[in-house]
């Protein structure tokens, strides 16, 4: 059962265009129906366009058989907010899910785990595969810094567990004293995601009191009054903003089994945008070979620490790599993320397996699979289109994924096309250059309609 609830504060979710349709990013899980012994129950806040469902099922050899084993349930509530909390407020919806799940139980997959997801799983008698909600602190910005120390991984100079503007100001002053060459700092809310909870201050412009300083809030709707209240509510960290030439932000995806086994799933180079590259836009697989083994080694040590704390499930670790200076752990995201659905899609449609030694996806013929993926193809012209029209345009342009060559484009977030003019894509090829070419051609096609 897939309950892709993004259970974060509504004020943070509302910063993301089309976030109501982000529940559809995990529709790649319907490809598990390639196994005739699998049933999938997929839950959303709003109905999914039937053309979108048809699109995913076309990647299976028996789409009609898969359709009979796919159950879709929606709660009829498009408001921004936690899908799990919507379910808990609707006993009738939970009853429908009990009927769909049956008496044999099953496994529940969620985007992130809070008490709401745990309550849904308990009510339905299914096993929730994800980090227990009581361990969410380990995935906060402050928690990640502490785990890094315990694991022996590098971390950026800064301070954690700050719960007031006064404490933030003191941490900035301390960093300036330790690092006189530092140019800027980034203040991160403990539970922010996709860079939307960050603020940047140039150290030569820091004023007293701190809120009078010139500040770049990554979320345009943020201000010191709102930001200060969130610092007091959830806490924050301060870190030096690393600006070295060639700095990169790769990530490692891991899975911890119920027996505590730590498995490396993938590495990516993140594609970042916004002020100072603080906003996640997409990714390239795999991370660059120059530092791939180093971040994997750090990730294994971090995974071992988290496994010892009782963490299970899939999650990601973000790093900052500065040439000549090494790798620093930046964040631990104890949840699924923006790299999850592209990786699953690429694996399942190509039939590739992950080679732990090479750190690459390898097709049945031994050829590598590379891809570039994004959730952020946007255009006002797309807002008046339907998902079916976008799918047809990609097909007609010859860009659609071809299983015989394991090359081409798959689409996701199609439900955000009408009204929001937004969608995502994974562009796959045997080389990074060819994958980039596909991406450029796709963006040109969709944004110049």
Residues contacting 216, CB < 8 A, separation 6+ = 199, 200, 201, 275, 276
Same structural domain, 119 and 171: no
Here the tokens at position 330 are: 């930046």
> By residue range, what is the domain housing residue 386?
361-449
Same structural domain, 126 and 164: no
pLDDT higher than 90, residue 279: no
Q: Beta-carbon neighbour count of residue 323 at 10 Å?
A: 12
pLDDT higher than 80, residue 312: yes
pLDDT band at 399 (very low <50, low <70, confident <90, very high): very high
In a domain? residue 342: no
pLDDT band at 109 (very low <50, low <70, confident <90, very high): very high
Same structural domain, 10 and 117: yes
Q: Which of 178, 212, 240 is the last residue of a domain?
A: 240
In a domain? residue 200: yes
Same structural domain, 166 and 200: yes
pLDDT digits (tens, 9 = 90+) for 119-159: 999 999 999 999 999 999 999 999 999 999 999 999 999 99
Same structural domain, 169 and 123: no
pLDDT mean over 412-432: 97
Cα 116 off chain centre by: 20
Same structural domain, 116 and 217: no
Strand 70-74 and strand 40-44: the pairing is: parallel
SS3 sequence of 218-259: CCCCCCHHHHHHHHHHHCEEEEECCCCCCCECEEEEEEECCC
Distance CA 93, CA 288 (A): 45
pLDDT higher than 90, residue 9: no
pLDDT band at 229 (very low <50, low <70, confident <90, very high): very high
pLDDT higher than 90, residue 192: no
The pLDDT of residue 244 is 75
Helix %, strand %, coil % for the chain, to 5? 40, 25, 35
Q: Which of 97, 131, 165 is the last residue of a domain?
A: 131
Answer for the pair 417, 423: CB distance below 8 angstroms, yes or no. yes
**CATH code for the domain of 386:** 3.30.310
DSSP 103-160: TT--EEEESS--HHHHHHHHHHT-EE-S--GGGGGGGSHHHHHHHHHHHT--B-SEEE
pLDDT higher than 80, residue 449: no
Answer for the pair 41, 11: CB distance below 8 angstroms, yes or no. no
The pLDDT of residue 332 is 96
pLDDT mean over 396-402: 98
Distance CA 293, CA 156 (A): 20
Answer for the pair 406, 341: CB distance below 8 angstroms, yes or no. no
pTM to 2 decimals? 0.94
Same structural domain, 190 and 85: no
Label residue 151 exposed, middle or buried (CB < 10 Å: 0-12, 13-18, 19+).
buried
Q: Which H or E run contains 270?
A: strand 262-273
The pLDDT of residue 323 is 87
Same structural domain, 10 and 103: yes
Q: Which of 240, 267, 291 is the last residue of a domain?
A: 240
The pLDDT of residue 354 is 96
SS3 sequence of 163-191: CCHHHHHHHHHHHHHHCCCCCEEEEEECC
**CATH code for the domain of 161:** 3.30.1490
Same structural domain, 126 and 9: yes
Looking at the structure of the chain, the number of domains it has is 3
Per-chain mean pLDDT for the chain: 95
The percent of residues in the chain predicted with pLDDT above 70, rounded, is 100
């Amino acid at each position: 059962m897939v309950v892709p609830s993004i259970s974060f504060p509504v004020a943070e979710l509302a910063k993301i265009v089309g976030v109501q349709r982000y529940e559809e990013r995990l529709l790649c899980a319907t490809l598990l129906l390639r196994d005739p012994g699998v049933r999938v129950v997929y839950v959303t806040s709003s109905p999914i366009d039937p053309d979108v469902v048809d699109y995913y099922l076309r990647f299976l050899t028996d789409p009609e058989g898969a359709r009979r084993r796919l159950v879709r349930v929606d709660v009829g509530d498009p408001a921004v907010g936690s899908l799990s909390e919507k379910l808990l407020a609707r006993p009738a919806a939970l009853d429908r899910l009990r009927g769909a799940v049956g008496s044999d139980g099953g496994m529940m997959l969620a985007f992130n785990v809070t008490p709401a997801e745990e309550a849904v799983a308990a009510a339905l008698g299914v096993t929730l595969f994800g980090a227990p909600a009581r361990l969410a602190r380990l995935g906060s910005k402050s928690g990640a810094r502490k785990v890094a120390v315990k694991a022996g991984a590098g971390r950026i100079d800064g301070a954690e567990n700050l719960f007031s503007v006064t404490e933030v100001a003191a941490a900035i002053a301390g960093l300036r004293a330790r690092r006189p060459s530092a140019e800027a700092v980034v203040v991160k809310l403990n539970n922010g995601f996709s860079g939307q909870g960050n603020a940047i201050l140039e150290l030569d412009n820091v004023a007293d009191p701190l809120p009078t300083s010139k500040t770049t809030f990554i979320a345009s709707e943020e201000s010191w009054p709102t930001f200060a209240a969130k610092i007091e509510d959830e806490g924050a960290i301060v870190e030096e903003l690393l600006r070295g030439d060639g700095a990169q932000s790769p990530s490692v995806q891991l899975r911890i089994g119920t027996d505590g086994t730590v498995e490396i799933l993938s590495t990516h180079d993140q594609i970042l945008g916004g002020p100072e590259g603080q906003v996640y836009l997409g990714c390239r697989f795999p991370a660059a070979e120059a530092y791939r083994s180093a971040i994997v080694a750090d990730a294994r040590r971090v995974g071992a620490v988290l496994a010892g704390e009782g963490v299970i499930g899939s999650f990601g670790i973000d790093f900052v790599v500065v040439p000549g200076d090494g790798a620093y752990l930046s964040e631990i995201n104890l949840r699924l993320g923006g790299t999850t659905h592209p990786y699953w899609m690429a694996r399942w449609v190509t039939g590739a397996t992950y080679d732990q030694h090479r750190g690459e996806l390898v097709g049945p013929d031994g050829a590598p699979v590379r891809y570039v993926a994004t959730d952020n193809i946007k255009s006002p012209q797309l807002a008046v289109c339907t998902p079916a029209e976008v799918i047809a345009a990609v097909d007609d342009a010859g860009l659609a994924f071809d299983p015989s060559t394991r090359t081409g484009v798959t689409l996701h977030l199609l439900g955000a096309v009408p009204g929001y003019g937004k969608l995502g894509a994974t562009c796959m090829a045997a080389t990074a250059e060819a994958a980039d070419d596909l991406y450029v051609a796709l963006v040109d096609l969709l944004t110049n309609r």
